[in-house]
Amino acid sequence: MGWLSGIGLSLFVDVIRWVNPTDLAQLASSTVLTGTVEFNDLPLLTSSNLDMFCGWLSSRSEESSKHQKTLLRSSLAFHHFKALGGIGSLSSKHAQLMRQGMLLSYLGQKERFCGFCPWSQTPYRLPWSSVAIHEHSSRVHGKDLLYVLNGNIVALCKVPREVLLETEVEGYPMFMRKNPPYECLGFAIVRAIDPAEKVFYILTPEPKHRLADVNALVKGSINIPDVLLAKQARFMREMQSLPYLVETTTKEETSTNHVEPRSRSESPCY
C-alpha cells in the first residue's frame, strides 16, 4: 500500500514478479480509468502492462518473460477503484481518514458487533525483560523511551538477537543497536506500562501464540487515530472524561487534541 515516485514503479514491478500476489488493488482517477493517461499518471496495472514494464532488477529475458506472463495471468486478480476526488487540504484529509480507517479496521478485527474501544478490552501482558524497545528515528534517549511508547501504536517485531543490547538495570527492556530490517508481525496499542510489575499492557488483534515470536516493540510514524481518543461514544454519551485527554480544540485550522502531560516523576502506568 502506498504511492509510487521516481524508480518506485520499477521496484514495484520487481516485487510483483517475485512475490506473485493473488490480488492487486489500484486507486486511480476517473480519467485514468477511462483510458486517458497524463504524463504524471500511473497507468492502469494490468497483466499486459506488467508484461511490458521494466523492472529494476528482474530479468527481462524472453524465457523469463513468458514464464512471468503465465504466472501473472493465471493467478493475479486486478481490482481498479476510483480514487476520492479533492484538491489541497481536502484531498490530504481524505488520505488521512483512509489511513486511520484502515488502522481502526485492523485493530478491531475481533470486534464483530461493535466498534473498537480500547478501554473495554482485556490487554495482553508483556514482561519488560522479554522485549527490546526502540524509536525508529533514534532521536529519543533510552531513559525516555517508555514515555514515548505509552499510549501509542507500536510495531510488534522480530529482530536478530545480535542487534539487541542488554541494559544495566535488571529487568529493564533491552535496546537496539541501530535500525535493522524488521520482520513486523503486527501492530499494537501500548495501553499501559506498569513499572512496579515491569510489564507492558498491549492491545492487538494478533493471536497470543504469535506474540511468542515478538522480541521488540518499535515506535514508528503511525499514531493512534484522533477519533479513537476524542470521539469514544460511550464516554461522550455518559459525559465522562475521555481517557488520556484534557480538552479538545475544534478549530478547523488546527483540529488538535491535547494529550494530558505527565510529570516525569509520575508513574507511566494508567
CATH number at residue 177: 2.40.30.330
**Residue 61 covered by a domain:** yes
**Residue 89 covered by a domain:** no
Number of domains present in the structure of the chain: 2
Q: How confident is the prediction for the chain on average, in pLDDT?
A: 74
**Residue 102 covered by a domain:** no
Determine the average pLDDT of the residues in 36-46. Answer: 73
154 and 267 co-located in one domain: yes
Q: Which domain holds residue 67?
A: 8-82
Q: Which residue has the higher pLDDT, 213 or 110?
A: 213
**Residue 125 covered by a domain:** yes
**Residue 95 covered by a domain:** no
In which region does residue 10 sit, left (phi positive, over 0), alpha (psi from -120 to 50) or beta (all else)? alpha
pLDDT for 139-168, tens place per residue?
888 888 899 999 899 999 999 888 888 887
Instruction: Read off the pLDDT band of 72 (50, 70, 90).
Output: low
Q: Is the pTM of this model over 0.75?
A: no
**Residue 56 covered by a domain:** yes
- Of the candidates 179, 199, 178, 180, which has an alpha carbon nearest to the alpha carbon of residue 190? 199
**Residue 91 covered by a domain:** no
**What's the grid cell of residue 181?**
530490517
Who contacts 200 (Cβ-Cβ below 8 Å, separation ≥6)? 125, 126, 127, 128, 131, 149, 190, 192, 193, 217
Residue 134 has pLDDT above 70, yes or no: yes
pLDDT of residue 236: 55
34 and 132 co-located in one domain: no
In whole angstroms, give the CA distance from residue 251 to residue 258.
13
**Residue 3 covered by a domain:** no
120 and 240 co-located in one domain: yes
pLDDT for 19-31, tens place per residue?
888 888 887 777 7
> For 20-133, where are the alpha helices, taking DSSP H only?
30-33, 47-52, 62-75, 88-107
Q: Select the highest-mean-pLDDT range: 62-71, 80-89, 191-200.
A: 191-200
pLDDT of residue 11: 87
